[in-house]
Structure 1
Amino acid sequence: MNEHGIEELIGTLYEMVQDARSVPFSSDKCAVEREKVLDLLDEISNQLPGELKQAKTIVDSRSELITNAKREAENIMKSAQAQARQLVSQEAIYLEAKNQANDMVRAAQDKIKELKKVTNDYVDDSLRRTEEAVAEALSEIRNSRSKFRALVNPQAKNNSAIIEDV
C-alpha cells in the first residue's frame, strides 16, 4: 500500500466496513476482507508517532547507561583501591590515597545519581509526550468510531430518543 495519512487510512477502513455485506440473519455484523483490514491496521500502526519507538529505545538505553555508569564506578573504585595498596608503605601517603579513593567513589556515586536523574527525566518526558500523542490518536479513533456508528446505525439515536420520551 502507498503511504497515506492516518485519517485517510481510517476513512478507507470505514468505507470497507460500511460497504461490507451483512452477515446472514444479522443486521449489525458484516463480512470484510481480513487481509485488507489487517494491512490497513498495520499501516495505521506504522504511522503512529515515532515517540512510541523512541520511548522503547530510551528505556532500553537507560538500562545500558546505568550499567555503564556502574561499571565505570567499579573501575574507578578498583583503580583507587589499587593505588591505595601501592601507597600502604607510607602512612601519610596511604591516608592521602584513601581520601582520594573515597572522593573518587563519591564522585562516581554522584555521577551515577546524576546520570539516573537525567535519564529518568528524559525517559519521563519522552513517555509523557508519547502518552499525549497516543491519547490524541485514541481520541481521534473514538470520535471516528462514534461517527461511524452514527452512519451505520442512525436509527439507534432515534430509538433511544423515542424510548426516553416514553
Structure 2
Amino acid sequence: MANEISRLIDMLYERVEEAKAPALKPNLSMVDRNEILDLLDELRDEIPAEIKRAQELLAARERFVEEAKRDVDRMLRQAELEAKTKVSESEVLYTAREKANQIVSRAEERSRQLYQVTNDYSEDALARTEEAIRMALEEVQQSRVRFRSASNAKMQEQKEMLDETPAAPTITNEDSEF
C-alpha cells in the first residue's frame, strides 16, 4: 500500500512537471484536470486504507508491548514468589535443623542425667544391700554364738542332771516275765 501511495504521488508529480505553461505565464502550468482529479481520488482512497493499516500496526504494537509488560510483570511476580518460597523453605529448613539439634542436645543431656541418676541409684542400692547383708551376717553370727552358748549351757545342764540322779537298777532278762 505504501508503494501504491508513493506511485500515485510520483504520477501526480510527473503530470505537473510535464504540464505545459501558457505563453504569457511561465509560472503556470496546464494539466488535465480530470486526470489529476482521478489520481487524487485514487490517492484519497489509498490514504485512509494506509492510515487504517498504520493504525492497526500501531494498535498491534501497543498490544504486543502491553502483553510483553504483563508477561514481564508476571515473570517478575513469579520469580519473587519463587525467591520468597525458597527463602521461606530455607528458613523452615534452618529452623527445623536448629530445632532438631536442640532436641538432640536435650536428649543427650537428659541421657547423661539419667545415666548419672541410674548409676547413683544402683550404687546406693548396692551399698544398702551390702549393709543389709553385713547386718544379716552379723545377726547370723551372733545367733550362732548365742545358739552355741545356749546349746553348751543346755548340754551342761543335762550332764549335771545325769550326774545327780542315782543309778537306776538294771533290768535283766531274768527279771522280766515275758
**Would the TM-score normalized by the shorter structure come out above 0.5?**
no
Length-normalised TM-score, structure 1:
0.38
Bigger Rg, which one: 2
